[in-house]
């Protein structure tokens, strides 16, 4: 019964807090007083995805540290355009934040006329989570490593990924250009569809986020042969990186990061940044993130900015090389 009681306390607490917020709108104080009311965090995805779950997990202790609740707001759709537009309608007062992902850097080159310019309209606060992609084969196929697969399937290699324009799909394009020029990339709607395709054996290789397929990997339904990080994934120390497997220049690390409106007081950004860093350093968050297959890892706004710019450049080249026209 203890758990029940705890849940009810939680619910009561939530109801109480919700009740308070609406009257709390009397704000005026300066930076020192921030935050005086709950902070909105806009998530450009539907609920339940990686970005959503990690942010909700980290948001709870972060809210405790800041002394105000973080309210998650899902604005899915249109590759983040809907979310970013909402963000741009908010004031630069630190009460509205947005989660961006490496997908944002892809969108910069993939879309012709975005109604905003991320680097001019937003500023980074800190990274939240990092994750690798994995290259997977069907265990029944018998391929133990990448070289064996490439030799055996060579020109007929079939790669399953999720939809065009995703990190996974463009990573496959990158892989194709570096390792197997005549491979066919077959897009599927969702990660479970990709998994199904690999299980049925209708494709040779799947490229997807480790997180998404962690379950299948743990169950030995699929076999990882390469991770795309620059170093090996601590969860799978036996699996080589792409560079080790002989494909130099093939590294992809996805990330989720928190951004604020440009013009937000640097002191607020600073405070957020240090608090995120300490939340992400706690054992609880680290293990929870690890269970999801992602790494909890903060950085400085400057580091984040560099990363953002270099990723834009990287995907721009991939998109050009793959001959994808901007939309």
Give the DSSP letter of residue 239: S
Q: Which is nearer to other proteins, 62 or 269 (CB)?
A: 62
- State which of positions 7-26 bind other proteins (CB under 8 A): 7, 10-11, 15, 18-19, 22
Residues 6+ apart with CB under 8 A from 46: 52, 74, 76
Q: Which is nearer to other proteins, 27 or 190 (CB)?
A: 190
In whole angstroms, the minimum distance from the beta carbon of 246 to other proteins comes to 28
CA–CA distance, 326 with 6 (Å, rounded to integer): 51
Q: Is the dihedral of CA 72, 74, 75, 80 positive or negative?
A: positive
Q: Which is nearer to other proteins, 167 or 299 (CB)?
A: 167
In whole angstroms, the minimum distance from the beta carbon of 71 to other proteins comes to 8
In whole angstroms, the minimum distance from the beta carbon of 212 to other proteins comes to 9
Binding mask of the shown chain, residues 33 to 72, with x at each position contacting other proteins by CB under 8 A: -------x-----xxxx--xx--xx--x----------x-
One residue of 249, 291, 313, 320 binding other proteins per CB under 8 A: 291
Q: Which is nearer to other proteins, 135 or 212 (CB)?
A: 212
In whole angstroms, the minimum distance from the beta carbon of 85 to other proteins comes to 7
In whole angstroms, the minimum distance from the beta carbon of 167 to other proteins comes to 13
CA–CA distance, 111 with 168 (Å, rounded to integer): 17
Residue range at the interface with other proteins (CB under 8 A); choices 138-146, 211-219, 223-231, 302-310: 211-219
Please choose, from the candidates 265, 231, 290, 296, the residue with its C-alpha nearest in 3D space to the C-alpha of residue 34: 265
H helix or E strand, kind and range, residue 132: strand 122-137
- State which of positions 171-200 bind other proteins (CB under 8 A): 184, 186-190, 192-193, 195-196, 199-200
Size of site (CB under 8 A) for other proteins: 62
CB of 235 closer than 8 Å to CB of 26: no
Q: Which is nearer to other proteins, 81 or 178 (CB)?
A: 81
In whole angstroms, the minimum distance from the beta carbon of 136 to other proteins comes to 13
CA dihedral 215, 221, 222, 223 (to 10 degrees): 100
Q: Is the dihedral of CA 228, 229, 231, 236 positive or negative?
A: negative
Check binding of 29 to other proteins (CB under 8 A): no
Please return the burial class of 295, using the count of CB atoms within 10 Å of its CB with bins 0-12, 13-18 and 19+.
buried
Residues 6+ apart with CB under 8 A from 105: 308, 311, 312, 314, 315
Please choose, from the candidates 133, 158, 172, the residue with its C-alpha nearest in 3D space to the C-alpha of residue 322: 172
- State which of positions 247-286 bind other proteins (CB under 8 A): none
Strand-strand pairing, 39-43 and 96-101:
parallel
Give the helix, strand, coil percentages of the chain, each rounded to 5. 45, 20, 35
Q: Which residues bind other proteins (CB under 8 A)?
A: 1, 3-4, 6-7, 10-11, 15, 18-19, 22, 40, 46-49, 52-53, 56-57, 60, 71, 73-79, 81-82, 85, 110, 158, 163-165, 169, 184, 186-190, 192-193, 195-196, 199-200, 202, 214-216, 218-219, 221, 288, 291-292, 324, 327
């Amino acid at each position: 019964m203890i758990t029940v009681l705890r849940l009810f306390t939680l619910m009561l607490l939530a109801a109480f807090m919700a009740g308070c917020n609406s009257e709390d709108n009397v704000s005026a104080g300066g930076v020192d007083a921030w935050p005086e009311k709950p902070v909105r965090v806009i998530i450009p995805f539907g609920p339940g995805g990686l970005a959503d779950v990690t942010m909700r997990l980290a948001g709870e202790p972060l809210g405790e540290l800041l002394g105000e609740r973080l309210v998650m707001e899902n604005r899915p759709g249109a590759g983040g355009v809907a979310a970013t537009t909402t963000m741009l309608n908010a004031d630069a007062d630190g009460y509205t934040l947005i989660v961006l992902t490496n997908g944002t850097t892809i969108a910069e080159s993939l879309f012709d006329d975005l109604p905003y310019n991320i680097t001019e309209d937003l500023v980074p606060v800190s990274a939240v989570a990092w994750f690798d992609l994995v290259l997977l084969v069907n265990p029944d196929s018998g391929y133990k490593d990448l070289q064996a697969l490439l030799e055996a399937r060579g020109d007929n290699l079939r790669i399953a990924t999720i939809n065009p324009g995703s990190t996974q799909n463009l990573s496959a394009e990158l892989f194709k250009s570096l390792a197997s020029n005549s491979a066919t990339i077959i897009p599927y709607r969702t990660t479970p569809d990709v998994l199904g395709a690999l299980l049925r054996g209708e494709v040779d290789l799947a490229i997807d986020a480790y997180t998404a397929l962690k379950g299948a990997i743990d169950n030995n339904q699929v076999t990882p042969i390469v991770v795309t990080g620059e170093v090996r994934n601590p969860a799978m120390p036996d699996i080589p990186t792409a560079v080790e497997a002989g494909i130099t220049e093939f590294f992809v690390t996805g990330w989720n990061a928190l951004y604020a409106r440009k013009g937000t007081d640097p002191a607020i950004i600073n405070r957020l940044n240090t608090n995120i860093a300490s939340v992400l350093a706690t054992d609880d968050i680290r293990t929870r993130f690890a269970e999801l297959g992602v790494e909890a890892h903060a950085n400085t706004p400057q580091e984040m900015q560099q990363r953002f710019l270099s990723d834009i450049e990287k995907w721009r080249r991939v998109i050009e090389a793959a001959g994808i026209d901007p939309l």
